[in-house]
Amino acid sequence: MHNFQHLEGLFRQAQGESSLSRLTPGDALTDAVHDYFRHYGLEALLNDASEVHAGFVDTGRFALWCQVWSPPRPVGT
């Protein structure tokens, strides 16, 4: 099981507490994103050489919003 204790400050902030001594949002979010990508073996997507492509399709009956990340070398999940 993954330990998300470092996100405790974000949850406190969402509940109305906002002590900067306990929370540095940029660091907490950066750590969370890195942990998420590392957990799923997608660290290559954090590389500056990666590209993000987004698209939206609306047919009237349904809408699809998609995002494709393109790492320098393909990564399978």
Both tokens of 27, joined, read 């660091």
Residue at token pair 């997608």: 42
Mark whether 3 and 32 lie in a shared domain: yes
- Quick check: pTM over 0.85? no
Mark whether 31 and 58 lie in a shared domain: no
Mark whether 5 and 35 lie in a shared domain: yes
Mark whether 34 and 2 lie in a shared domain: yes
- Residues 6 and 32 sit within 8 Å (Cβ to Cβ): yes
What are the residues whose beta carbons fall under 8 Å from the beta carbon of 45, sequence distance 6 or more? Answer: 37, 69, 71, 75
Residue 71's pLDDT is 62
Q: Per-residue pLDDT tens for 1-37?
A: 456 666 666 555 555 544 444 445 556 556 777 787 7
Mark whether 53 and 34 lie in a shared domain: no
- Mean pLDDT of the 35-40 span: 80
- Residues 67 and 74 sit within 8 Å (Cβ to Cβ): no
Mark whether 32 and 50 lie in a shared domain: no
Into how many domains does the chain fold?
A: 2
Domain of 48, in residue numbers = 44-77
Bridge partner residues of 54 (DSSP): 67
